[in-house]
Amino acid sequence: MTLHNSNNIQKACGQLVAITSNNTDTVVQRKHMGITVLWDNPSLSIIRWQFDTSWTWCDVTKAEALTRLILGSVDHTVDIIWDLERTLALPTPLSHVLDANMEGFAGDGSVILLTGCNRFIHTVIRALTAKNRTLGYKLGFVDTLAEAREMLAVP
């Protein structure tokens, strides 16, 4: 992400956004949010959501809005990794999981890989994808962040 795109994101979100950058990562996060949204690679083809131990469905909505802003700064397909390694259980109510808005969130041809899910989270998400099959086809599960990166690096 270029600096001018970072500035555009900051202007669009006001004071709620903290943007930090080094040579390889640009991190975009709303302050006091349980999910960090960042580019996962220098080619800007993967966005990673880093879930903290404490997060809410409101945080998911905020992360989704930030991700849409970031996606607007590129004109190519971007895949998404949800790193849930620190998450022990999903927040309630579960009715917020995989809502209709998430279906359009991953663009055409892109996927969302969930990494670090425990058996409970994996089972709940799989069961809930029965309600939203279109999104279910875009979701994949892997054990580690390295495995997700490897899968997404394959052309």
Q: Which domains does the chain have, with CATH numbers?
A: 3-153 (3.30.750.24)
C-alpha pair distances (Å), 150 with each of 25, 41, 102: 18, 12, 24
End-to-end CA distance of the chain: 21
The dihedral region occupied by 32, where left means phi > 0, alpha psi between -120 and 50, and beta the remainder, is left
pLDDT of 148 higher than 90: yes
Question: How confident is the prediction for the chain on average, in pLDDT?
Answer: 76
Reduced to 3 states, what is the DSSP secondary structure of residue 141? strand
What pTM does this model have?
0.74
- Structure-model confidence comparison of residues 23 and 134, the more confident one: 134
Confidence label for 37 from pLDDT (cuts 50, 70 and 90)? very high
Query: Which of 45-49, 105-109, 128-132 is predicted with the least confidence, judged by mean pLDDT?
Result: 105-109
Q: DSSP labels for 29-41?
A: EETT-SEEEEE-S
12: pLDDT strictly greater than 60 = no
Q: Is the peptide bond before 93 cis (omega within 30 degrees of 0)?
A: yes
Examine the pLDDT at 26 and tell me if it is beyond 70.
no
Classify each residue of 132-154 as buried b or exposed e, where b means 16 or more C-beta atoms within 10 Å of its C-beta: beebeebbebbeebeebbeebee
